[in-house]
Amino acid sequence: MQLSFLTPLFDRRGPWATVYFDPAQNDESGAKRRELSVREACRTLEDEGADAATVRAVRDALMDIGPAEDPSGRVVFAAGGEVVLRHRLSRPPQRLIAGWAPLPRLTPLLELSSQDPVCLVAYIDRTGADFERRGAAGPQDAGQVEGRQHPVHRTATADWSERHFQLKVENTWEQNAAEIAEALNTAYEESGADLVVLVGDPRERAAVHERLPEAVREVTTATEHGARAAGSSSPALEEAVEEARRQHNRRRIEEALDRFRAGRVGVPDKPTDAVEGVPALVEAVREHRVETLLIRPDGADLARETWIGADPDQVAVRRTEARTLGENEPLPVRADDALLRAAAVTAADVLIVPPSDGDGDGTDVPTGGLGALLRWTYEPAPA
């Protein structure tokens, strides 16, 4: 997950009110539970020292959240008497989460927001294609391409006089496939998609797939369900697209963990490609070396105390260390919040990895729940 949408949270200093809110059911008892939950959240913020203006802003924002518009709820971030950001959740929180702290509380957002990748769906026929971006914001138009319209249909006759026409039809298909592939590659790059799903005419799907650049082919799959024609959508097509997204995400997690396990193996006098543990991560984020931050939600290190300054790369394990970074009044925060702030402003990716299975075999990674794949490593100095 890229955290660029959280930038407004780091353009100003806290402290911050954070509330993860489930609007409950759309009935009379649900309305009563929502009211009680709003009161509980505001009371928690007050007890933890939030100012009255910020509490009022949060209360108003929570009262606007309803099950019809936000069935899984929202998270609200507020500071200085105003709500700075609201974000829709993919799954409702199991309990009310509310807090007042120097930094926004972010790890629950990663757990409750869809980590499924952005998917570009290409609806293809022999005359062109329509592209649709599927992400957290729902389906969005991503453009279209129209190829040659004639001739695109073969005749039923086998007469010698028709062979020239048949060749023209096949040439049209091939030319259109090339144009669709070129437009699809452009849409893929512009949409920021992680994978592509091809829908529609089987022959043209295969021809388009063959003409895609290798990097795009590697993240492209196809489904037999659906077509380009209006009204051809179906539950089977929707499930096929969602399954493609789930499989892509599983592969991505497995590949990241394989790379992490290989990269963290300590070999004397050799650089490593991965680190784990708060001290090593603090050093990496200060040097902007984190490519992908790995978070295991049940890890003990997530709540470990760290110290921060005003700048996102002013992170330290000890207060005295934070002062050496130029911050006269460092603040204590959770390690995961400090690391997520640094990851967001340095355009690092963030990946939630499966929690511990509880069997105690020591295979859970990263140790302590926090780790990172690095953008670069330092070669050891020659002896």
Average pLDDT for 164-185? 74
CA distance between the termini of the chain = 40
Helices 163-191 and 202-211 pack at an angle, to 10 degrees, of 60
Among candidate residues 282, 348, 277, 290, the one with its CA nearest the CA of residue 309: 282
Judged against a pLDDT cut of 60, whether residue 332 lies above it is answered with yes
| pLDDT on residue 267 | 56
- All residues at 6 or more sequence positions from 156 whose CB lies less than 8 Å from its CB, including other chains: none
What is the C-alpha separation between 252 and 110, in angstroms, rounded? 16
- Band (pLDDT 50/70/90 cuts) for residue 101 is very high
Distance CA 219, CA 279 (A): 36
- Among residues 335, 351, 254, the alpha carbon closest in space to that of 301 is found at 335
pLDDT of 341-355, one tens digit each?
999 999 999 999 987
Q: What is the pLDDT of residues 205-219, one digit of tens each?
A: 999 999 999 999 999
Question: What pLDDT, in 10s, does the model give residues 14-70?
Answer: 899 999 999 876 566 778 888 999 999 999 999 999 999 999 999 999 999 888 888
Contacts for 32 with CB less than 8 Å, ≥ 6 apart: none
**CA 284 → CA 268, 290, 302, distances in Å?**
19, 6, 16
Amino acid at 137: A
User: How much is the pTM?
Assistant: 0.77
Q: Are the beta carbons of 348 and 290 closer than 8 angstroms?
A: yes
What is the percentage of the chain residues whose pLDDT exceeds 70?
Answer: 85
User: What's the rounded Cα separation, in Å, for the pair 128 and 325?
Assistant: 57
The whole-number pLDDT of residue 244 equals: 92
- Rounded alpha-carbon distances, angstroms, from residue 142 to 138, 146, 240, 365: 12, 14, 19, 37
Task: Give the separation between CA 168 and CA 182, rounded to whole angstroms.
Answer: 21
Residue corresponding to tokens 């199991």 = 94
CA distance 279 to 264: 14
> What mean pLDDT, rounded, does the chain reach?
86
Dihedral sign from CA coordinates of 134, 138, 143, 148: positive
Burial pattern 343-355, b for ≥16 Cβ within 10 A else e, equals bbbbebbbbbbee
Average the pLDDT over 282-293 and give the result.
94
- Which conformational region is residue 360 in: left (phi greater than 0), alpha (psi within -120 to 50 degrees), or beta? left
Do 208 and 198 meet the contact criterion of CB atoms below 8 Å apart? Answer: yes
Burial code (b: 16+ CB inside 10 Å, e: under 16) for 175-202 equals ebbebbbebbbebbeebebbbbbbbbbe
- The answer to whether residue 154 scores a pLDDT higher than 70 is no
